[in-house]
Amino acid sequence: MAKATTKDRILASLRNSKGKVFLRDDFNRFGTYRQVCRVVKELSDEGKLMRLGYGTYVKARPSSISGKPVADESLINIGLETMKKLGIKADVGKDMRALIQGDSTQVPMLPVLNIGNARVCRKLSVGSRSLVYEKN
């Protein structure tokens, strides 16, 4: 029986994972840095992964309308999961919080994350939409 390739092992990991967001370091155990970079780029080209930002990827699926790859999750949920993986305590922005609590009927247009007092420089975007950070 042939040994599983780096790509096979990463694909199996993606299938078995409950999470939607992956950092580049999550794949380090599957091969050398170059091998993993090559496989992650291949998976991005095939539409199985989407690049969010520096070293951050999300599971993707084909769009029902255009057939192009789209993220499996909303940008807010992607941002929350990414911050959790990075060890940053984050929550939805104040406008979304007001909507959830019933204090407002306005649906926020921008995906906003409240990052407390943390310093975050990482830009996360899916397509043309980028995540916006607000502080306490």
Backbone angles phi, psi at 64, to 5 degrees: -75, -20
Fold of 6-62: Arc Repressor Mutant, subunit A (1.10.10)
Please answer whether residues 79 and 90 qualify as being in contact, where contact means their C-beta atoms are separated by less than 8 angstroms. yes
Least Cα distance to 74 among 16, 135, 131 occurs for: 131
Question: pLDDT tens for residues 47-80?
Answer: 999 999 999 999 999 999 988 999 988 999 999 9
* pTM over 0.75, yes/no: yes
Q: Where are the domains of the chain?
A: 6-62, 74-134
Terminal Cα distance for the chain, rounded: 56
